[in-house]
Amino acid sequence: MKRYWFASIVTFLLAVVLLVPVFSFAAGAQEPLLTDEWMEFRRDLAEWQSEKFLQALDIMQAGFQEAEAVVVELGGSIGFPDLTSPRAEVLSLASDVASAADDAQSREALSQLHAYINDFAAGGRARGDNIKQQVDALIATLRDSVKAEVDLFVEGLKETTRDEIESLKEDYRQTLVADVGGSPTEEQQATIQQQVRGYVQELAAQKQTENKALVEAMVAELSQPNIDGMTRLRQAFEDIQTNLNDHKAQVEAEAKEFQERRKALILKTVDARLAEAQQRWAALSPEQKTKLGIANLETELASARAQLEADLQAAVGEGAIQQALQSFRTRWQDAAKEVEANRMTAQELSETLLPKLTTQEEKLIQLIETLRDNHPGSETVQAAYQTVLAEVQQLIQACNQVSAETPASELAPALQQLQADADHAKQLLEAFKSNTEKPSSEGTEQ
């Protein structure tokens, strides 16, 4: 029997170009800039993406309807995916983006729209596999139906052929007997029997050839409608994939316009943030700018901004855009950290040090009193710790006297001296411990 079914059905993957218009170039929570423009961009993007998604659903729906008509003609049925629910869901999610009240709601609504479209696309292979299984089942049903009819025809043909051969065989034998005349001798009977066998063999071979042609003709007759139907069904599926591919190409072309618009808005946001920073720097005196390193910061940020623009222009995919943004964020944050380090005044430093120094002073006093009580002869160690205690008390006094205008550099010598004294005292204490912790030999001798 000829094979008239095909082995596989195309799987459906809905490919949709997604943009993620979420941009923040600095760490930490900041008020969003250009909120109205970003929200307008998201509304336009959501409207466009939902429109393209629905167009893809229309392509699939039209293809499913064509395929279903063919399946019905073949006497079968296939449960194609219901696209009503995804259509309504995407329209609702796009509406949420359009009606968002603020920047946070706008971001969240667009994120939910993207998540739904991504999930739908991810389910494309499962939908295709489900359709393929149903088509394979239909093919098996059609094949079994044809086989059943052909098997029934073959059984009838075998019986008819046997009767026909038996009848022709007897007619041929009677003819041979009549040709002999009278009663044939044993030798003549043997000859007649041999001739009959040869005749039956030739007749059986002839009938086999004729019957094979009849069976093949019947298979072709029964199978041709199924062959034609399955060819049309396969073409319907291929048309869906072709139309989706064409649609995808159109989407990708239109997505480039949104991508360029997004890049421009990113740079505009960066410029707004830079302008905001420069406005704060304008209130500083030249001395403060020099002390903080503002000039170096402005140079670094201008360079980072120029590099970001160049990287965005060269970026093709979302990964390249995110990489460009991350590079800019890193340069911004690193430059800001240097300014922050320079910005700390002696007052801020003293406010950080005082609690630690006070606690350290208390510990030193307690330690010195313990040493004095338990080791009255350890004047060297006690003197060393008295020196460190004096340095701590002097630094505490200095911290109490600083103001917002005091540069942090004035505390640096005192901190360095305190560190040196503390290291020296630590060495003396270790030496003292090693001398006092030696095991005594008293009581060990017998």
Query: What pLDDT is recorded for position 62?
Result: 94
What are the CA-CA distances from residue 274 to residues 21, 146, 280, 382 (Å)?
20, 77, 10, 57
User: With contact defined as beta carbons under 8 Å apart, do 196 and 188 qualify?
Assistant: no
Query: What pLDDT is recorded for position 23?
Result: 45
* Residue 3 pLDDT class (50, 70, 90 cuts): very low
pLDDT, tens only, 276-323? 888 878 777 787 777 777 788 888 888 989 999 998 888 888 888 888
Tokens, residue 61: 């729906």
* Residue 2 pLDDT class (50, 70, 90 cuts): very low
User: With contact defined as beta carbons under 8 Å apart, do 289 and 295 qualify?
Assistant: yes
CB hemisphere CA count around 400 (13 angstroms): 9
Residue 214 scores a pLDDT above 50: yes
- Per-residue b or e along 230-257, where b marks 16 or more CB atoms closer than 10 Å to that residue's CB: bebbbebbebbbebbeebbeebeeebee
Q: Rounded to 10 degrees, what is the CA torsion of 310, 313, 315, 319?
A: 80
Question: Rounded to an integer, what distance in angstroms lies between the CA atom of residue 168 and that of residue 174?
Answer: 10
pLDDT, tens only, 14-31? 444 444 444 444 433 355
What are the CA-CA distances from residue 228 to residues 6, 70, 241, 265, 334 (Å)?
12, 10, 20, 55, 69
Tokens, residue 288: 């403060």
User: With contact defined as beta carbons under 8 Å apart, do 190 and 176 qualify?
Assistant: no
Residue percentage of the chain with pLDDT more than 70: 74
